[in-house]
Amino acid sequence: MTRTNQARLILGSASPRRLDLLAQIGITPDQIRPADIDETPRRNEAARDYVCRMATEKAAAIAAAPDEIVLAADTVVTAGRRILGKPVDAAEARAFLTLLSGRRHRVMTAIVLRRQDREWSRLVETQVRLRPLSSVEIEEYLASGEWQGKAGGYAIQGRAGAFVNWISGSFSAVVGLPLAETATLLRAAQAIQPGKEE
C-alpha cells in the first residue's frame, strides 16, 4: 500500500506488535506517539464499551497537526463478562491462563483513526479457544516472560500459539491490530491511495 503525501500517519501506541503488523501491509508510521491515559475500567462497564472507549480516548489524547492522522487501538480479552487486561504480575497471569485453559473466550480490538475533527472506528471481535493446559505448561510459559504486557496474559503470535486449538475471526486482531479493517479505515481517511500495493 502506498501512502499519499497529504497526510502523516501517527501511531498512538508503543506496541512493537502493532508496528510489525502495519509493516506487513507496507505501512510505516511517520511517528510513534504513545497515549498516556487512565485505562481503568468503569464499574460494570461492558468489555465492548470499555475497549471502544480506550481506543477513542487514546486517539483524542494525542496532539496532532492538521496534516496528521492518528491511529490508536486497544485490545481486551474477555472470559464471560470478565475483562482480562494486561496482568500486573505473574500471579495474575497464572490466574488468567488457568481461567482460559480449555475454554473459549473473546478477544476484542477497537481501532480509531482521527484526522482533525473527523473520526473513523471499528470494533473487531474474535473467538479463541485454548486447549486444556497443564500446570507445568502454565509455569513454563510464565517463566518465558512472554505474558508481560499482553492482554489476557498470552501472545498468540508467540509460544502461546501452541495453546490455541481453534480461532474464529481475525488473527491479526488478536495480536493487536486487525489489518483488513485498519487498511479500510486508512483508505477512508485518505492516508493511503486505494488500489495500490507495494
Q: What are phi and psi of 83, to 5 degrees?
A: -90, 125
* CB crowding 12-39: b at 16 or more within 10 Å, else e: bbebebbbebbeebebebeeebebebee
DSSP string, 32-74: E-------PPPTT--HHHHHHHHHHHHHHHS---TTEEEEEEE
The residue from 20, 74, 89, 117 that is catalytic is 74
- Give the number of C-alpha atoms closer than 13 A to the C-alpha of residue 8, restricted to the C-beta side: 12
Selection from 51, 8, 15 nearest residue 31 by Cα:
8
Establish whether 67 is a catalytic residue.
no
How many secondary structure helices (H) and strands (E) does the chain include? 6, 7
How is residue 123 written as a grid cell? 470494533
* Active site residue ranges: 74
